[in-house]
Amino acid sequence: MKKIKISLLGQVAMAIGLGILFGQFLPAAVARIFVTFNSLFGNFLSFSIPLIILGLVAPAIGELGKGAGKLLAVTTLLAYASTVFSGFFTFFSASAVFPQMLPQTTLSALENPEHQMLATYFTVDMPPLMDIMTALLLSFVIGLGLSVIGGTTLQKGFVDFRDIVIRLIENVIIPLLPLHIFGIFLNITLSGQIVSILSMFIKVILVIFVLHILLLLIQFSIAGLASRRNPLVLLKNMLPAYATALGTQSSAATIPVTLKQALKNGVKETVAVFVIPLCATIHLSGSTMKIVACAMAIMYMAGQPVTLGSYGGFILMLGITMVAAPGVPGGAIMAALGLLGSMLGFDETLQALMIALYIAMDSFGTACNVTGDGAIAVIIDKIAPSFAGK
């Protein structure tokens, strides 16, 4: 009998539903067992985040620096610019609508869980080897160094370290996430805040759906302007890739379809086979949109200030971090947790809400990512002749 495999989205949905259900009748003494697990898992996650950043960012920067010259540099910069634009576009759009849509201070009790939420039976400190900013700076220094030196020994070592980090994410953190989210929603239900949380989820999902459609229209309008072609036709030709990504929830798995549709848009094969696989890794405009919007929604409802000053640096750093996000379900939000904690002050509970909200829209973010890859391919195809022979 074939074993039924439930997707991460399905597991998270079940965890949220069961957390709400069991929160209606489970005794507090039993619920505290799951709260204790959440504390242990959260501490382990805090310990792992600097390792995740170092293991993903350093080899990614090192590999980019050893690539195919100016065309690689231009493609990478264009992907980064698109990702950062997505972040600021989301920030200003959400700033206009979230204050009217979301009740502020609704989640303020989550900032003081000892007053309204269940306490743990015990805690185990798991101090990280370094703080988040140290991990980021060290990753940049090592990555840039790897990109310019002639040797490969250290690069190979960091590639092996990246494999360890990815296995940690795939085999430990991701499988335990549903149980972690179950415990969070169990505790939130017992605290009487679940209605406001679910209402926020629905509103944010609707806003992000509209924003990611607008983002695609902007991306293809720029591509159409650069190539002097109808942007709606270009976007229409990429819809099979969009639909495939909705089903697979994987940019890598959608590459064959994205490549085929890019060729249909008139992109030269030599350009398409270079740009599409690269952008599947480094261009995450849709994922960036989800992270920025979800973080803003949670901060509004927690009564925390949301300013351009605090989010400007976060978005710029997030664009770099997304380049190194692993290609596994939930990989982008895993890579972003360090920035959420260090730059926006998200604690374990708010990070768990971010993970649940992000994964609830994983398909839409992936579809936006891969469809936008088609726009970048069109632009690069237009400017590629200037790099011929270089």
**Rounded to two decimals, what is the model's pTM?**
0.77
Total Cβ atoms within 10 A of residue 389:
4
How far apart CA 268 and CA 276 sit, in angstroms, is: 12
- For residues 357 and 204, the answer to whether their CB atoms sit within 8 Å is yes
Judged against a pLDDT cut of 90, whether residue 321 lies above it is answered with: no
How far apart CA 317 and CA 84 sit, in angstroms, is: 9
Task: Copy the structure tokens of residue 46.
Answer: 């805090």
pLDDT tens for 233-283 read 999 999 888 888 876 666 766 778 888 889 988 888 878 888 887 788 788
Instruction: Provide the percentage of residues in the chain whose pLDDT is more than 90.
Output: 17
More confident residue, 112 or 346: 346
Residue 329 pLDDT: 61
Q: Could you identify the residue written with the tokens 């979301």?
A: 102
Residue 113 pLDDT: 44
Question: Contacts by 302-306 with C-beta closer than 8 Å and gap 24+?
Answer: 302/105, 302/106, 302/107, 302/108, 302/110, 302/111, 302/350, 303/104, 303/105, 303/107, 303/108, 303/111, 304/345, 306/95, 306/98
How far apart CA 340 and CA 344 sit, in angstroms, is: 5
Residue closest to 258 by CA, chosen among 234, 290, 280: 280
For 68, the 3-state DSSP assignment is coil
Write the burial class of residue 270 (CB in 10 Å: 0-12 exposed, 13-18 middle, 19+ buried): exposed
Angle between helix axes 348-360 and 362-383 (nearest 10 degrees) is 70
Residue 133 pLDDT: 73
Using alpha carbons only, what angle is made at residue 362 by residues 41 and 234, rounded to the nearest 5 degrees? 155
How far apart CA 8 and CA 291 sit, in angstroms, is: 17
Residue closest to 279 by CA, chosen among 367, 148, 358, 370: 370
- For residues 77 and 313, the answer to whether their CB atoms sit within 8 Å is no
Q: Could you identify the residue written with the tokens 């382990």?
A: 44
More confident residue, 285 or 69: 285
How far apart CA 370 and CA 245 sit, in angstroms, is: 7
Give CA separation, 6 vs 12, 178, 199, 254, 333, in Å: 10, 12, 25, 20, 20
How far apart CA 42 and CA 353 sit, in angstroms, is: 12
Residue 234 pLDDT: 92
